Amino acid sequence: MKLNITIQNTKGLHATLAAKLVDLAHKYDAHIELHYEDAIVDAKSILGLMSLAVPSGENIVLVATGPDAEAAVKDLRKLLQ
C-alpha cells in the first residue's frame, strides 16, 4: 500500500514526532518505509527518520507491505497529517 502525505506539523518530522511514528510502526506486522526526495528509510528506525529532516509542508510517500499494511498506513497517516 502506498500513500502520499504532506507533513502538517509546523516543526516538520522532528524528534518527538519521529519517536511517536516509530512506536506506532512497531505495533504492526508490516514492512513500512518513508520515501522523501531520493531517500528511503525504515519507518521503524528513529535514526533513519531523523536523517530525512523533512520540513513542514513537504510531501513524503508512505509505503507498507505485509499483513497489517492497510491498518498501518491508516494510523500513520493520522499521526503525520
Chunked mean pLDDT (size 10), the chain, 81 residues? 92 93 96 96 96 94 96 93 80
26 in active site? no
- Domain of 70: which CATH number? 3.30.1340.10
d(CA 67, CA 52): 26
Catalytic residue among 14, 26, 31, 35: 14
User: Across-strand partners of 32?
Assistant: 64
pTM of the model: 0.89
Please give the pLDDT value at position 45.
97
Please give the pLDDT value at position 68.
93
Please give the pLDDT value at position 81.
80
Domain total in the chain: 1
Provide the domain limits for residue 9: 2-80
User: Which residues are CB-neighbours of 7 under 8 A, at least 6 positions away?
Assistant: 13, 54, 55, 56, 57, 58, 59, 60, 80
Please give the pLDDT value at position 78.
92
Please give the pLDDT value at position 32.
97
At position 79, the amino acid (one-letter code) is L
